[in-house]
Structure 1
Amino acid sequence: MTKIPAAAVALATLGLMTGCATPPPAEPALLTIDGSRLPPANVSMVIAGLSQCTDSGDHTLKLNAQEPVTVLVHGCFSSAGRYRGMAQVLAFHGQQTACFTYNDRDSLSASAGQLDTALTALARNMDNKHITVLGHSQGALIARKAMSVSHPDAIDGKDVQLRLVTVSGPFGGIAAARHCGSPLWKTLSLGLVGPICQIVTGDKWSEITATSPFIRAPGALDPRVTDFLKIMTDESGSCRRMSNGACVESDAIFSLAEQRNPAVDSDPLVSIVEVKAGHVEIVGNNRTGPVKLIAVLQERGVIKPTQPDRMEKFGQLLTRLFGEASR
């Protein structure tokens, strides 16, 4: 039998980091959201894992208990503040948000349990128990698992009504992680492939492969989920950063094949929309606005339509949040 040096296995598995978007360049602190169009807040709460969608460090949620709420779940190398732009888009349309923050090196099942606990506490504080959960990338996997009846930390409350929206989620398993779930690689590496994968990706390493139970048996959706909008991104040929007209950083993270999973896609509640967009482009950053995502979310009723007399102001908001390319 040929021995594979541990160093070689490590190099082979370092590609796993492509399962997350690389950290974006430093941006100014995203500390505030203009809530002038939001319904007046009448409840305040502190819930582990939930906060305002800013980097202010203020974890007190101030919401209107009679209105629905959208919970945003970030992907790898992200934070609540990275979704300030999307939260501001919702606020412009009079819709309140909260952001769920977790350790992206934790087990996905553990993070889903934390999300379930947070959603239970949120629902208990709200009279209107309509909650939309929108997860991007790894956050899509966590959001979907949290909504599964097979998850032990199910959300409490018979009157809770849930809507699930996922964006660019690798529901078919991350191709770059295939060595982590391979019996052959386990043998060839003398058992070292597992520990190395854990070093690279954290405790989620065994859940992100195409052969893992997490991927192959996602579980049926909780009956309180009224619908599931699954947005898939065709990221081929996309670019996140250019220099002198040349792409120096691709925005292609997950292929369409990695985003497909018959066990997820065959659910009668699921509605699939495919968008030609890069992995980060779809949710926006300080250079590109999430105009394609906004269009889909408005078409599907997740974001309210923009009133004709406010279109110009909305365009100005997108420019202010994301730059001139957003118009």
Structure 2
Amino acid sequence: MSACLLVGCASYDPIVAPDLEPGRLPPPDVTLSIAGLGPCTDNPDRSLHLKAGEPVTVLVHGCFGSSGQFRALAQVLAFQGQQSACFTYDDRAALDDSAGALRSAATQLTALSGGPPVTVVGHSQGALIARRALTDAVEPAPSLPAPQAVNWRLVTISGPFSGIDAASTCGKNWLYPLTLGLLPLSCHIFTGPKWKDITFSSDFITEPGQLLAGVNYLKIDTAEEGTCRREANGRCLESDDIFSLAEQRNARVETGAAVDRVQVQAGHVEIVGDKLRAPTKLITVLQDKGVLRLVAASRREAFERMLAVAYGLQSDALRRPAVSR
């Protein structure tokens, strides 16, 4: 049981990073302290330094992740002058609780930074939380201003919107009395309170809620079958096949004129990048859909060099400074 539940998340190498280089970001003029939000590093200082009124992209990690996981992706955004923040949460907590915290954080970010457009990007379990946060299924805190949904955009990547197959046993309610209550207890022990939200029969999955009016939604599904994260001598040592397309598809979250669905042939970790490869496929989709600005031809070489450094792909050639022409 424990093995089945734990494979429902992709594992990541922990990253402890210094503060991000400012790149081409606009000079900050506000400092914000918002619970759950901070820079995309594992620095204990979670203050956000932003340019008021400028768009912000909020990145939401999956389970076993952290803000530092998206440090390199934040650098990709910064290269194009796009501000970012990372949402940090307890990946064992009930998903509705995490979604409520994200909704609160995004609402405060919009209000305190002058009402700029906010894009929320969630990967894996973070995709479930990101979408839920921008639906009518989450009650906003009464002390917060009404959300300006017209300024919000949602991007989800590799989210198991039909429930996690590895946790399907936990969703079979008829087994609870037969196991004398040991089944739900085991599910709670190994995944925490969120176990009730990740099964095919959970209310979280069967009643995902409607997106708030004005939210534009880009849903990126990954065809992960046969992908490999790490291999040696022609053998796959670690699969990158975490969620099937069936786990990611859910008609209840894909309906509506504001939903744009894209399918990408990529592994679960490959799509967002790690210390082995840059997320070139994701970057292409985000550029095509206007989430990430296009790179000018004159800056292409510098962009490739930045990717190599940010994702640990440096070669001797890439470490050498570019030749002026």
Question: TM-score w.r.t. structure 2 length?
Answer: 0.92
SS of 2:221's equivalent in the other structure is strand
Judge which range, 99-108 or 190-199, deviates more: 190-199
Q: Report the equivalent of 1:246.
A: 235
- Displacement over 2 Å in runs of 4+: 153-160, 323-327
Following TM superposition, by how much is the alpha carbon of 1:126 offset from its aligned partner in structure 2, in angstroms?
1.6
Does structure 1 residue 164 correspond to structure 2 residue 154?
A: yes
Are the equivalent residues in 2 in contact too, given 1:207–1:215 (CA < 8 A)? yes
> Across the two proteins, how many residue pairs are aligned to each other?
313
SS of 1:19's equivalent in the other structure is coil
CA RMSD, 1 decimal: 1.7
Following TM superposition, by how much is the alpha carbon of 1:240 offset from its aligned partner in structure 2, in angstroms?
1.1
Q: Report the equivalent of 2:66.
A: 79
Amino-acid identity (%): 50
Are the equivalent residues in 2 in contact too, given 1:55–1:81 (CA < 8 A)? yes
Q: Report the equivalent of 1:201.
A: 191
Alignment of 1:156-235 (within 5 A): 156-157=145-146, 159-160=148-149, 161-225=151-215, 227-235=216-224
Are the equivalent residues in 2 in contact too, given 1:108–1:207 (CA < 8 A)? yes
Following TM superposition, by how much is the alpha carbon of 1:323 offset from its aligned partner in structure 2, in angstroms?
3.7
Q: Which amino acid aligns with 2:289?
A: R
Whole-Å separation in 2 of the counterparts to 1:322 and 1:245 = 23
Q: Given the alignment, which residue of 124, 127, 143 partners 1:140?
A: 127
Deviations 1:252-310 (A, max 9, x none): 10000000001011232111000011101100111110000000000000000001100
SS of 1:105's equivalent in the other structure is coil
Following TM superposition, by how much is the alpha carbon of 1:243 offset from its aligned partner in structure 2, in angstroms?
2.3
Q: Report the equivalent of 1:306.
A: 295
Whole-Å separation in 1 of the counterparts to 2:281 and 2:12 = 22
Whole-Å separation in 2 of the counterparts to 1:157 and 1:147 = 12
Are the equivalent residues in 2 in contact too, given 1:13–1:177 (CA < 8 A)? no
Are the equivalent residues in 2 in contact too, given 1:129–1:159 (CA < 8 A)? no
Whole-Å separation in 2 of the counterparts to 1:259 and 1:48 = 29
Does structure 1 residue 35 correspond to structure 2 residue 22?
A: yes
Whole-Å separation in 2 of the counterparts to 1:18 and 1:198 = 15
Q: Report the equivalent of 2:93.
A: 106
Whole-Å separation in 2 of the counterparts to 1:187 and 1:120 = 42
Q: Report the equivalent of 1:117.
A: 104
Whole-Å separation in 2 of the counterparts to 1:60 and 1:257 = 39
Following TM superposition, by how much is the alpha carbon of 1:241 offset from its aligned partner in structure 2, in angstroms?
1.3
Whole-Å separation in 1 of the counterparts to 2:191 and 2:148 = 37
SS of 2:226's equivalent in the other structure is coil
Q: Report the equivalent of 2:54.
A: 67
Q: Given the alignment, which residue of 29, 52, 57 partners 2:39?
A: 52
SS of 1:214's equivalent in the other structure is helix
Q: Which amino acid aligns with 2:243?
A: F
Deviations 1:67-96 (A, max 9, x none): 110000000101001100100000000000
SS of 1:267's equivalent in the other structure is coil
Following TM superposition, by how much is the alpha carbon of 1:152 offset from its aligned partner in structure 2, in angstroms?
1.3
